[in-house]
Amino acid sequence: MAERPIILGIVGDSAAGKTTLTRGIAQVLGEHDVTTICTDDYHRYDRQQRKEMGISALHPDCNYVDIIEQHLELLRQGEPILKPIYNHTTGEFDAPEYIEPKKFVIVEGLLGYSSQRARNAYDVKVYLAPPEDLRTKWKIKRDTRKRGYDETAVLAALAAREPDSEAFIRPQRKWADVVVTFYPPENPEEAANDLLLNVNLILRPTIPHPDFTDILDSDLGKAIRLGLERDMGKPVDVLSIDGHATPEQVQQLERTLCSDVPYLGQFCSLEGNQEVGKIVGTTGETLQSYPLALTQLLITYHMLMAMGSAGKVKVAA
Ligand code: G6P
């Protein structure tokens, strides 16, 4: 069993769902065992300074990437850090906080994979890549409800930051072990319902994935599929889960995950658990869906496999 903390990266553009997924995974791993870090805290300039300089928070020059690297290395060694705090309400920095890593550390943020030194620190690297129109919808919802902006300001910020998204955020996708893309159903009536989102999970051969070969020749139909595709020029497996998947179909996938990591059983629908995949999102809404639940489970699976103690993890009372 690893002595040092296991480090998970959740990287993606602004409002790609990083905080919500981080919460969901922390719930499954057990919140008392998880330290969560957001790299927004490492912005180099406050909101006023950025405005004056005409630089966006998405630009590496606008962040202390070197301190992120150093802190990741310390956390990986089990050492504490003194982490800065960016206050999203004031747009300024608060006094730093002392953070000791617990058994698992989840590092979410915009530029987590932007340097080799940072990338080396993670055990599991996830990248969130929702379609841009869905991300826009999420960003409007979050920034108008939680960060005091109006819709016009959010759309203007998105447009102004687009060149930096393209230059610095999206290219990081290629470093991820798992790329997560939630996307809405085609039917417009259903598309309005966030609980019916489907998910595509790109599984890169950079880490060992569960053996999903059963799914290939199963009767899961179109609801849960495994396909071989190309992403950024490289062959990858893609696990697709439809928001309409039935409990039986989901359970087949859950069984595959639990056969390697029995601990996950308590978070599956297998035992009739009604709370499966329930997460309170950053906008305060409760989200619950099979694609979301299975995404959480798969990433947790990887964290526990990285710890080398799959199946032996003590279950919280
Ligand atoms: C983006 C990111 C934030 C980041 C922010 C800074 O929206 O998603 O998490 O901290 O830019 O901009 P702000 O609105 O606080 O000035």
> What is the set of domains in the chain, with CATH numbers?
6-307 (3.40.50.300)
pLDDT over 90 at 249, yes or no: no
Q: What is the pLDDT of residue 165?
A: 98
The end-to-end CA distance of the chain, in Å, is 21
Question: Which pLDDT band, with edges at 50, 70 and 90, does 215 fall under?
Answer: confident
Q: Which of 10, 40, 93 to mutate for ligand 1's pocket (most ligand atoms within 8 Å of CB)? A: 40
Neighbour count for residue 309 (Cβ, 10 Å)? 16
Residue corresponding to tokens 């990858």: 236
pLDDT over 80 at 311, yes or no: no
Q: Which of 14, 164, 168 to mutate for ligand 1's pocket (most ligand atoms within 8 Å of CB)? A: 14
pLDDT over 60 at 140, yes or no: yes
Q: Tens digits of per-residue pLDDT, 152-174?
A: 999 999 999 999 999 999 999 99
Ligand 1 pocket, residue 47 CB under 6 Å: yes
On whether the CB atoms of residues 275 and 235 are closer than 8 A, the answer is no
Q: Tens digits of per-residue pLDDT, 275-297?
A: 888 888 888 888 888 999 999 99
Ligand 1 pocket, residue 88 CB under 6 Å: yes
Q: Please tell me the distance from the alpha carbon of residue 55 to that of residue 113, in angstroms, as a whole number.
A: 20
Ligand 1 pocket, residue 108 CB under 6 Å: no
Q: What is the pLDDT of residue 314?
A: 45
pLDDT over 80 at 58, yes or no: yes
On whether the CB atoms of residues 220 and 174 are closer than 8 A, the answer is no
Q: What is the pLDDT of residue 315?
A: 38
Q: Ligand 1, atom 1: nearest CA belongs to which residue?
A: 14
Provide mean pLDDT across the span 65-76.
98
pLDDT over 70 at 122, yes or no: yes
Q: Which of left, alpha, beta for 17 (phi over 0: left; psi -120 to 50: alpha)?
A: left
Q: Please tell me the distance from the alpha carbon of residue 269 to that of residue 249, in angstroms, as a whole number.
A: 11
ipTM of the complex: 0.94
Residue 155 amino acid letter: L
Residue 15 amino acid letter: A
Question: What is the C-alpha radius of gyration for the chain, rounded to an integer number of angstroms?
Answer: 19
Count Cα atoms within 13 angstroms, Cβ side, for 202: 24
pLDDT over 80 at 1, yes or no: no
Q: What is the pLDDT of residue 285?
A: 84
- What are the two backbone dihedrals, phi and then psi, of residue 130, each rounded to the nearest 5 degrees? -70, 155
Q: Please tell me the distance from the alpha carbon of residue 162 to that of residue 4, in angstroms, as a whole number.
A: 38
Q: What separation in angstroms does the CA of 38 have from each of 57, 165, 274?
A: 13, 18, 30
Among the listed ranges 4-13, 102-111, 240-249, 301-310, which one has the minimum average pLDDT value? 301-310
Residue corresponding to tokens 């089990």: 78
Q: What separation in angstroms does the CA of 139 have from each of 13, 15, 154, 157?
A: 10, 5, 7, 10
Q: Please tell me the distance from the alpha carbon of residue 285 to that of residue 133, in angstroms, as a whole number.
A: 20
Count Cα atoms within 13 angstroms, Cβ side, for 51: 6
Question: Which pLDDT band, with edges at 50, 70 and 90, does 317 fall under?
Answer: very low
Q: Tens digits of per-residue pLDDT, 174-205?
A: 999 999 999 998 887 887 777 789 999 999 99
pLDDT over 60 at 310, yes or no: no
Q: What is the pLDDT of residue 65?
A: 98
On whether the CB atoms of residues 264 and 226 are closer than 8 A, the answer is no
Question: Which pLDDT band, with edges at 50, 70 and 90, does 218 fall under?
Answer: low
Q: Please tell me the distance from the alpha carbon of residue 224 to that of residue 245, in angstroms, as a whole number.
A: 7
Mean pLDDT over all residues of the chain? Answer: 91
Considering only residues 160 and 312, tell me which one the structure prediction assigns the higher pLDDT: 160
Pairing of the two strands 234-241 and 178-183: unpaired
Q: Tens digits of per-residue pLDDT, 4-30?
A: 999 999 999 999 999 999 999 999 999
Q: What is the pLDDT of residue 276?
A: 82
Q: Please tell me the distance from the alpha carbon of residue 147 to that of residue 176, in angstroms, as a whole number.
A: 29
